[in-house]
A and B are shown apart, each in its own frame.
Chain A
């Protein structure tokens, strides 16, 4: 089998590229080194749809952001991924920062962002009563929004698979070799696939993948961001996404509702050794709490339900790099896709596909393509009467497994069956929210393990948290 296109990396960029390519009569293979999709930066970020005021005018970032917002809202609708156009505020706390707010406003106008306005501290507090008294002015960005980044990635991969894309998990690319038939992409464990074109969407490892075809001049500088996620009881502390004016460290600590109704605070920004870092540090926790309280003093950090770290795939130029390989024709690299990469994912995918076309890939539309994905949360959003009728036909939906998030057995079984299948505990969690509530899987964990074991036809001892050696139990007692 020779694929037309091999995509390396099933983060949100690879996922959207796969979905974009699934529109055409192409054989596409999506490779992922982890046990599931959305396991890198795409699972642990702010989940923000950025308005587009921030990127330097004239950069690829600015272009992608300006185009990307509307495209993302459209894709989220088609894929039934929960999102909210809640708007954002960038806060200033001093005269100097007031000037920065004005600069951002001007920059946003140049980038073509509609509806921006600069408001006073009092006006900001009028629309967000829990903001600090010390806020002096703010930039209001009405087109900004929030979206669940891993739900988006999972849905995009699922939709791509429904339209014929093949997903290979646990495929950690180790080498690429050009042959007459195309590129042989091989994994550490010896498996290999061959394809005529290659899209390098490897995120934190995109520099290493580029180097496999001789492009040695990219460098990823992984920067970790730590977050604290709070219970839904804190979810309405603010309705907008609250930023502080950017500093050299990043866009500052934000306070935001999430698309699922929790409150998110973070991220920090610290250089780390590897893109896989998952470390939570005491300094990080302290910094998030202190700076979040600067914007919204009343955030109740006793309601933290989990903390996590995501790693940005930052480059050295400050801009996205999406370009054909200089050494290997047919290979396109996507490097340094950091924030606002999530916002830009559809625009980036289209831009990358256009680069493939320029490199000689023929794009013939596929008539059967369907960009809509079934709503995996349809049941959750039904009225009691609709739920009752649905349960009559599907009794598994009447048995609640996760009490905190009220996820039923039916929803969990569906998540293990539907593209892309959940293969582990984290996969079920990210698809259904089971285990994401305040008890963090304390009650539903054993039940979900049993459902995974049943549906996948594997013994309990082989059920993992996230693949590999992450087994949940070690042995059957008495054997």
Chain B
């Protein structure tokens, strides 16, 4: 069995940033395992721009953003096992993987999980009708078009207005397809405002809110879909049913952190985020196993993934150097009124300032977030607006945290 200080599962943006941060923190025996033949993960198919504005101060495409970090990995001579798929991670940190050379087993002092996420499929939606060709998740279509060079269809309906769906509406239009409609079940889009403007409005593509696809038509290849508006309980309104001819239906209906390895390892999960429960250093409740990026919770911007992965990388390096501090005491966190989830799910109060990441339950106008522990207010933050599609960050100051007790609760108030 091979031995390494830190093994990183996944070489996407999270895995790369974690590797570099761990290395720079002084633990140089780091390896990355990735299933693809190159680093970058899903960024390689995201050929649009908009990456790096926060983190790198310039606007890059996905592959360019990946290249920045791949370069940093290369400069540090961090070994990468390509086309290598991790099949299990044990609680005592033995990582088993498979590649063309055989079965690989590595014993690690710390493991960082950075497997990313996957798209929800049609099956999970229970859409009625037939099962023809021409129905793709938006990301699969993106890969076929941008990486493989094949168009998936000419007349398109997109279900779901998440960012990938919006980006693909523009991409399909640029390649000459007609995008008939983007339908969104909710009364608001989960995508970034800039994407709604740049990908739909600029191309004259209609966005139908509170609308869903209720039936799929066609035998061999998709021939059309029936869409309908939904009521406040998200049930289709019969009188609004409408047929749209199309040969392609793209689904952008949500991302699911890809946590099969995590679950098999027995790591406690947060049912709301779909990721592991972690502390402020991204360590899960299994000692020495960390998680970061979209496998922990789905992010809207890769820049934030890189930030989080750096915390995980540092955390893993500190764990390797110092071991687990048996004395450390955790405060649990909790999503209060108006807040859907908070990451981290628990935090140590003696490690410096701590950032909380959270999402709200629905779109709000002007709001005030209040973070309390017991009767003590730890932080207050005001926003002009808040939406589920935009992750919020609130910093807790070490000075206030130090003698806090009880559950750290975040709630919001509309102003």
Contact = CB atoms under 8 A, between A and B. Distances in A.
Interface of A: 228-229, 276, 278-282, 285, 304-308, 384-385, 387-389, 391-392, 395-396, 398-400, 403-404, 406, 408, 425, 438-443, 445-446, 450, 460-461, 464-478
A305 B124 contact: yes
Given A308-B131, A391-B101, A400-B98, A446 B123 contact: no
B228 to A, nearest CB: 11
B85 interface: yes
B399 interface: no
B140 A398 contact: no
Contacts of B102: 387-389, 391-392, 398
B53 interface: no
Contact of B150 (A278, A389, A392, A477): A477
B123 A307 contact: yes
B288 interface: no
15 contacts: A278-B130, A306-B121, A306-B122, A307-B126, A308-B131, A391-B103, A398-B101, A425-B133, A439-B119, A441-B140, A442-B137, A445-B140, A446-B140, A469-B221, A474-B153
Contacts of B147: 446
B148 A460 contact: yes
B99 interface: yes
A475 B151 contact: yes
A308 to B, nearest CB: 7
Given A469-B220, A476-B149, A442 B103 contact: no
Interface in B256-286: 258, 260
B150 A473 contact: yes
A443 B133 contact: no
Contact of B133 (A307, A387, A395, A471): A471
B185 to A, nearest CB: 15
Given A391-B98, A391-B101, A403-B35, A465 B132 contact: yes
Interface in B76-110: 83, 85, 87, 96, 98-103, 105
A317 B152 CA distance: 47
B145 interface: yes
Leading 8 A-B pairs by shortest Cβ distance: A306-B123, A440-B121, A465-B133, A473-B150, A470-B220, A395-B100, A470-B133, A388-B103
Residue with the highest number of chain B CB atoms closer than 10 Å, among A229, A403, A450, A473: A473
B314 to A, nearest CB: 29
A280 to B, nearest CB: 5
B139 A442 contact: yes
B175 interface: yes
A276 B131 CA distance: 12
A304 B136 CA distance: 18
A279 B131 CA distance: 8
Nearest to B103: A388
A280 B124 contact: no
B129 interface: yes
Interface in B120-171: 121-124, 126-133, 136-137, 139-140, 143-145, 147-154
Contacts of A276: 219
A403 B121 contact: no
A322 to B, nearest CB: 31
A403 B85 CA distance: 8
Given A280-B128, A388-B102, A391-B103, 18 more contacts: A278-B130, A279-B128, A280-B130, A282-B128, A282-B214, A304-B123, A306-B122, A307-B123, A389-B102, A398-B99, A398-B102, A400-B98, A442-B121, A450-B148, A468-B220, A470-B221, A471-B133, A473-B144
Contact of A387 (B83, B98, B123, B131): B98
B100 A396 contact: yes
Residue with the highest number of chain B CB atoms closer than 10 Å, among A389, A474, A476: A474
B138 to A, nearest CB: 10
B118 interface: yes
A113 B397 CA distance: 73
Given A388-B102, A398-B102, A473-B144, A280 B123 contact: no
Contact of B149 (A384, A389, A391, A477): A477
Residue with the highest number of chain A CB atoms closer than 10 Å, among B96, B101, B105, B118: B118
A141 to B, nearest CB: 31
Contacts of B145: 477
A403 B260 CA distance: 10
Contacts of B132: 465, 470
Contacts of A389: 102
A461 B258 CA distance: 30
A408 B154 CA distance: 32
A308 B150 CA distance: 28
B18 to A, nearest CB: 20
Contacts of B35: 400, 403
A278 B131 contact: yes
A205 B172 CA distance: 41
A406 B87 contact: yes
A466 B220 contact: yes
A295 to B, nearest CB: 20
A440 B123 contact: yes
A474 B145 CA distance: 11
A473 B87 contact: no
Given A387-B103, A398-B102, A460-B150, A446 B143 contact: yes
Given A387-B103, A395-B100, A440 B133 contact: no
B128 A285 contact: yes
Given A392-B102, A442-B118, A442-B121, A280 B126 contact: yes
Nearest to B150: A473
A399 B153 CA distance: 30
A399 B133 contact: no
Residue with the highest number of chain B CB atoms closer than 10 Å, among A408, A425, A440: A440
A103 to B, nearest CB: 36
A438 B131 CA distance: 17
Given A387-B103, A392-B102, A473 B152 contact: yes
A271 B133 CA distance: 25
B126 A384 contact: no
Contact of B96 (A308, A384, A467, A477): A384
Given A388-B102, A399-B100, A478 B123 contact: no
A391 B124 CA distance: 34
B126 A304 contact: yes
Contacts of A476: 149-151
Given A280-B129, A450-B148, A395 B101 contact: yes
Contacts of B154: 474
B123 A384 contact: no
Nearest to A289: B126
Contacts of A473: 144, 150-152
A279 to B, nearest CB: 6
Nearest to B147: A446
A338 B219 CA distance: 24
A469 to B, nearest CB: 4
A305 B147 CA distance: 27
A442 B99 contact: no
Contacts of B131: 278, 308
A276 B219 CA distance: 9
A477 B175 contact: yes
Nearest to A233: B263
B332 to A, nearest CB: 25
B163 to A, nearest CB: 16
A442 B140 contact: yes
A401 B405 CA distance: 49
Interface string B46-61: 0000000000000000
